[in-house]
């Protein structure tokens, strides 16, 4: 066996798995049980589900010595893999007081031990590919863990901080909103085939880009507050029909987590004064689209975004900065980190798209309907997890994720 192949992967496995538990260091066991709405999941469920993923899709298939920790976990911690079997209803995950948080940690140790043994004994290409997929899957859930617990804590009237030690950067003044000319014509998009990518990033293909301008930074809190003060939430002419109906039904009049006075916002570090220059976040696609109309602009397509970001280094306000909130940055265009950026593109398959074979084919492809594509990662995305071709997706009314946007315009001026 070639240890040059499996040793680095074993180290990466340990690092990613340990990171998930470290993110929970400031939480109490009680915190990890709560589910605040159907879109969120309890913290301990994330820890268990990612463990189940390794157990079911790797150990059960490739390890002859692994012993199931608990047969009930196949039902409790499956998410949406219907070809695997039935699962506990997603909106009822918060009712699972048992197994306890401590038992979930034991489950993780049990599976991690078997995984390390497997990586020491097996360098099969299929095993390696499954492990890499599992690690990227876990990094997605690390982000979900943080956004979900933020929503949970925001429902507490005392507005407790998940981590009061998070850094609060010195505010940076955001300048006038400017645009740069984007490239037009036939442009290649999609994963280049270098390293890991999800199936929804393939195949690489050509896209036609018309003449356009793309914003040099993300839209700020201050700019969004101007939209509100100018009656943006009361002018139906600015809103898509579905967006206006959603606004009226849910009583939206400001971004999620903003105070009623629009001068403070809830963060993972607790309630803070609103930084007018920082990127606005926790807004739906509908709100982003309405703002763009108000500003005489539009949202960029996902291919306009990808082409603009294609030659930039993956740097920015990402998970490792330990800020966990968007910040203003006058020296960067913020294509990576801070907020996932809404695009005008529906989440659809690329020409020639083929999902992964078997049950893992349920990972992305079956969600390619009624959702919008977002790009760029957020302030709680791991740096080695994001890239210019990465496509994530949310329903247009989603707000609990770190969701923001930049603007674009047609033409070249």
pLDDT tens digits, 123-165: 889 999 999 999 999 999 999 999 999 999 999 999 999 999 9
Determine the Cα–Cα distance for residues 101 and 22; give it in Å rounded to an integer. 14
Q: Are strands 185-189 and 205-209 parallel, antiparallel or unpaired?
A: antiparallel
Taking a C-beta distance cutoff of 8 angstroms, is the pair 208, 303 a contact? no
In the block, residue with structure tokens 């977002």: 374
Residues 219 and 141 grouped into a single domain: no
In the prediction, which pLDDT does 1 show? 38
* Percentage of the chain modeled with pLDDT above 90: 87
Residue 258, φ and ψ in degrees, nearest 5: -75, 145
Average pLDDT of the chain, as a whole number = 95
Task: Report H helices in 310-395.
Answer: none
Q: What is the pLDDT of residue 412?
A: 78
Is 77 part of any domain?
Answer: yes
What is the pTM assigned to this prediction?
0.96
In a domain, residue 135? The reply is yes
What is the predicted pLDDT for the residue at 6? Answer: 64
Whether the bond into 203 is cis, omega within 30 of 0 = yes
Q: What are the φ and ψ backbone dihedral angles of 394, each rounded to 5 degrees?
A: -145, 155
pLDDT for residue 175: 86
Q: Assess contact for 160 and 27: CB atoms under 8 A.
A: no
Specify whether 253 is located in the same domain as 322.
Answer: yes
CATH number of the domain within which 52 lies: 1.20.120
- Specify if 305 maps to a domain: yes
Quick one: 189 and 148 in the same domain? no
Q: Are residues 242 and 309 in the same domain?
A: yes
Same domain, 58 and 122: yes
300 and 371 in a single domain? The answer is yes
Domains contained in the chain, number = 2
Lookup result for tokens 């442009």: 187
Residues 144 and 184 grouped into a single domain: no
* Domain presence at residue 213: yes
Same domain, 274 and 232: yes
Is 171 inside any structural domain?
Answer: no
Residue 413: predicted pLDDT: 63
56: exposed, middle or buried (C-beta count within 10 Å: 0-12, 13-18, 19+)?
buried
> Does residue 4 carry a pLDDT above 80?
no
Mean pLDDT calculated for residue range 349-376: 91
Sign of the dihedral through C-alpha 407, 323, 13, 81: negative
CATH number, residue 227: 3.90.1580.10
pLDDT at 244: 98
Range of the domain at 329: 179-410
- 247 phi and psi angles, rounded to 5 deg: -55, -45
Average pLDDT over residues 258-267: 98
Of the ranges 78-87, 138-147, 353-362, 387-396, which one carries the lowest mean pLDDT score?
353-362
State whether 145 and 250 are in the same domain.
Answer: no
Residues 165-176 pLDDT 10s: 998 888 888 889
Strands 185-189 and 264-267: unpaired
SS3 120: helix
What does the pLDDT average to over 251-275?
Answer: 97
The answer on 218 and 135 residing in a single domain is no
**CA nearest neighbour of 374 among 275, 283, 297, 296:** 283
- Do both 150 and 185 map to the same domain? no
β-bridge mates for residue 272, sequence order: 265
DSSP conformation letters of 33-52: G---STT---HHHHHHHHHH
**Is residue 166 a part of any domain in this protein?**
no
Structure confidence by residue, pLDDT tens digits, 276-316: 999 999 999 999 999 999 999 999 999 999 999 998 999 99
Q: Are 58 and 202 within one domain?
A: no
At 3, is the pLDDT very low, low, confident or very high (cuts 50, 70, 90)? very low
């Amino acid at each position: 066996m070639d240890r040059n192949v499996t040793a680095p992967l074993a180290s990466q496995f340990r690092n990613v798995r340990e990171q998930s538990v470290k993110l929970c260091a400031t939480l109490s066991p009680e915190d990890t049980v709560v589910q605040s709405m159907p879109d969120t999941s309890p913290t301990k469920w994330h820890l268990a589900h990612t463990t189940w993923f390794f157990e079911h899709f790797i150990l059960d298939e490739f390890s002859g010595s692994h012993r199931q920790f608990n047969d009930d976990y196949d039902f409790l911690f499956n998410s949406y893999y219907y070809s695997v079997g039935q699962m506990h209803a997603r909106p009822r995950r918060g009712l699972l007081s048992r197994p306890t948080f401590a038992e979930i940690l034991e489950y993780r140790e049990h599976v991690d031990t078997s995984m390390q043994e497997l990586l020491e004994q097996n360098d099969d290409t299929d095993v390696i590919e499954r492990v890499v997929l599992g690690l990227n899957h876990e990094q997605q859930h690390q982000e979900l863990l943080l956004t979900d617990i933020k929503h949970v804590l925001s429902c507490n009237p005392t507005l407790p901080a998940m981590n009061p030690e998070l850094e609060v950067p010195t505010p940076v003044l955001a300048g006038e909103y400017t645009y740069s000319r984007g490239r037009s014509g036939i442009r290649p998009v999609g994963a280049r085939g270098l390293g890991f990518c999800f199936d929804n990033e393939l195949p690489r293909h050509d896209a036609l880009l018309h003449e356009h301008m793309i914003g040099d930074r993300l839209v700020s809190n201050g700019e969004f507050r101007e939209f509100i003060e100018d009656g943006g939430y009361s002018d139906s002419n600015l809103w898509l029909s579905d967006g206006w109906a959603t606004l009226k039904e849910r009583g939206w009049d400001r971004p999620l987590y903003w105070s009623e006075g629009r001068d403070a916002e809830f963060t993972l570090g607790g309630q803070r004064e609103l930084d007018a220059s920082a990127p606005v976040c926790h807004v739906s696609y509908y709100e982003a689209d309405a703002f763009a109309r108000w500003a005489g602009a539009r949202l960029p397509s996902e291919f306009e975004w990808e082409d603009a970001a294609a030659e930039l280094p993956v740097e920015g306000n990402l998970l490792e900065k330990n800020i966990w909130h968007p910040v203003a940055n006058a020296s960067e265009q913020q294509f990576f980190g801070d907020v996932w950026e809404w695009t005008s593109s529906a989440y659809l398959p690329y020409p020639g798209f083929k999902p992964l074979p078997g049950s893992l084919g349920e990972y992305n492809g079956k969600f390619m309907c009624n959702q919008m594509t977002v790009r760029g990662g957020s302030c709680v995305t791991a740096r080695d997890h994001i890239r210019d071709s990465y496509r994530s997706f949310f329903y247009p009314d989603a707000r609990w994720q770190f969701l923001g946007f930049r603007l674009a315009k047609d033409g070249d001026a």
